């Protein structure tokens, strides 16, 4: 039996990228093998069935998959539990951003992440969402002097994060001037450079609209939200949409011409994959996780990511229809990973690990 740790995804008050990934992966895996969602109980120092509320007794023929972040601070005794678990234990690792960029990461994440990355070594196997993430994790283990490290391998995320949204392979025609940037408002996502580029385009007389979607980081996001407001008041066509429902998101994406990802750091570049899945070209910063998808015309890397360089790239795809259509056709034709493929790869790891 595959026991899937749904503690965070079932209890989450916000639908973050990690929660969307956890829910989508769980649905994909459940179509390929028997799966039971479980939740951690501090009182029992163990897992309970998400529906039965009964304590789970793991056996040698079982697997415990932990797809999300965890910490000893929130789950007392969790590290020792994993070390002593009879099941084959697997964790999914997303990124080391809190360690690499503490200056713009939530303080509680910065505090918890070193112990989290060290505790990942207690699992029998770790699956990283990108080669960058895997190398950062293994490098951290080596730096801390860990002598016994589990195998860490890469299982890429799927591009079809919304199961109800089919792949768009038909190049869009007669699209409007909407540009969309999706992501929590925080310095890491670099909305400020997008706003600066928008001001330049406005001064150049370019016709466009720039929309931002995402929640506000309670520690660092308010100034960015305020800057969006002030920029809009100055007559620049920018708008903060906040958090949208799936239906509202689909409506906005259907009217979108291209997307932006000028981030300073990303774990697996999921916004790039999601955009390409919709047949939308992407302008992004030189992220290691995005370079793999920038081999054709659909993903444009701006490096260095300055307001002038970003504005120039945006203007080309707004005003040069031939260049834009070439990018759209490339996005629609590109081979992209799916969550079914991710689930198949994880299933193989689970079955092999249980059999060992």
pLDDT at 209 over 80: yes
On average, the pLDDT of the chain sits at: 92
pLDDT at 12 over 70: no
Per-residue confidence at 18, pLDDT binned at 50, 70, 90? Answer: confident
pLDDT by residue (tens digit) across 105-154? 888 889 999 999 999 999 999 999 988 899 999 999 999 999 899 999 99
pLDDT at 238 over 80: yes
Whether the CB-CB separation of 133 and 96 falls below 8 Å is answered with yes
Q: What number is the average pLDDT over the span 31-47?
A: 96
Q: What number is the average pLDDT over the span 310-338?
A: 95
How far, in Å, CA of 212 to CA of 225, rounded? Answer: 10
More confident residue, 355 or 135: 135
Q: What number is the average pLDDT over the span 234-241?
A: 97
For residues 143-172, one letter each, b for 16 or more C-beta atoms within 10 angstroms of the residue's C-beta and e for the rest, the string is eeeeeeebebebbbbbbbbeeeeeebeebb
CB atoms within 10 A of CB 294: 16
Cα four-point dihedral sign 163, 165, 166, 171:
negative
How far, in Å, CA of 114 to CA of 98, rounded? Answer: 9
Whether the CB-CB separation of 91 and 120 falls below 8 Å is answered with yes
- pTM of the shown model: 0.92
How far, in Å, CA of 4 to CA of 91, rounded? Answer: 10
pLDDT at 189 over 80: yes
Q: What number is the average pLDDT over the span 33-57?
A: 96
Q: What number is the average pLDDT over the span 205-213?
A: 97
pLDDT at 183 over 70: yes
Which of 99-113, 142-156, 245-259 holds the top average pLDDT?
Answer: 142-156
Q: 25: closest CA among 161, 182, 164, 166? A: 161
Residue 267 CA to chain centroid, in angstroms?
7
| pLDDT for position 43 | 94
pLDDT at 172 over 60: yes
Q: What number is the average pLDDT over the span 179-208?
A: 96
Q: What number is the average pLDDT over the span 214-232?
A: 94
Q: What number is the average pLDDT over the span 219-244?
A: 95
Q: In what order do the strands lie in the sheet with 299-302?
A: 238-242, 209-213, 178-182, 256-261, 282-285, 299-302
pLDDT by residue (tens digit) across 327-344? 999 999 999 999 999 999
pLDDT at 303 over 90: yes
Residue 305 CA: distances (Å) to CA of 194, 240, 271: 10, 22, 17
Whether the CB-CB separation of 306 and 194 falls below 8 Å is answered with no
| pLDDT for position 106 | 82
Q: What number is the average pLDDT over the span 297-306?
A: 94
Residue 334 tokens, joined: 């590109």
| pLDDT for position 11 | 67
| pLDDT for position 61 | 94
Residue 164 phi, psi dihedral angles, 5° rounding: -90, 0
pLDDT by residue (tens digit) across 46-55? 999 999 999 9
Residues of the chain above pLDDT 70, percent: 98
Residue 245 exposure: Cα atoms within 13 Å on the Cβ side: 2
More confident residue, 271 or 82: 82
| pLDDT for position 81 | 97
pLDDT at 14 over 70: no
Residue 213 CA: distances (Å) to CA of 181, 300, 311, 336: 6, 21, 20, 24
pLDDT at 13 over 60: no
Q: What number is the average pLDDT over the span 50-66?
A: 95
């Amino acid at each position: 039996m595959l026991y899937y740790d749904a503690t965070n995804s079932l209890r989450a008050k916000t639908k973050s990228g990690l929660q969307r990934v956890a829910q989508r992966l769980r649905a994909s895996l459940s179509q390929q093998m028997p799966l039971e969602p479980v939740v951690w109980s501090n009182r029992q120092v163990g897992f309970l069935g998400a529906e039965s509320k009964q304590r789970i007794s793991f056996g040698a023929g079982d697997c415990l998959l932990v797809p999300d972040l965890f910490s000893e601070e929130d789950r007392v005794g969790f590290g020792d539990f994993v070390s002593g678990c009879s099941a084959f234990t697997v964790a999914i690792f997303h990124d080391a951003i809190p360690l690499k960029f503490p200056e713009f990461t939530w303080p509680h994440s910065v505090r918890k992440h070193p112990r989290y990355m060290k505790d990942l070594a207690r699992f029998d196997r770790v699956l990283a969402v990108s080669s960058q993430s895997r190398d950062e994790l293994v490098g951290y283990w080596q730096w801390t002097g860990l002598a016994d490290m589990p195998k860490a391998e890469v299982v890429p995320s799927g591009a079809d994060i919304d199961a109800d949204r089919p792949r768009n392979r038909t190049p869009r025609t007669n699209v409007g001037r909407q540009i969309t940037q999706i992501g929590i408002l925080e310095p890491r996502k670099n909305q400020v450079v997008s706003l600066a580029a928008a001001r330049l385009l406005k001064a150049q007389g370019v016709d466009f609209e720039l929309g931002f979607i995402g929640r506000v980081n309670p520690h660092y996001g308010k100034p960015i939200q305020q800057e969006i407001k002030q920029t809009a008041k100055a007559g620049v066509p920018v708008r903060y949409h906040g958090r949208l429902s799936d239906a509202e998101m689909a409506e906005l994406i259907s009217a979108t011409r291209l997307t932006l990802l000028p981030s300073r750091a990303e774990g697996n570049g999921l916004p790039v994959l999601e955009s390409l899945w919709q047949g939308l070209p992407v302008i992004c910063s030189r992220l290691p996780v995005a370079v793999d998808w920038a081999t054709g015309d659909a993903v444009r890397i701006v490096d260095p990511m300055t307001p002038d360089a970003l504005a120039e790239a945006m203007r080309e795809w707004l005003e040069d229809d031939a260049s834009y259509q070439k990018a759209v056709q490339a996005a629609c034709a590109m081979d992209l990973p799916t969550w079914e493929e991710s689930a198949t790869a994880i299933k193989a790891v689970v079955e092999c690990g249980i059999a060992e």
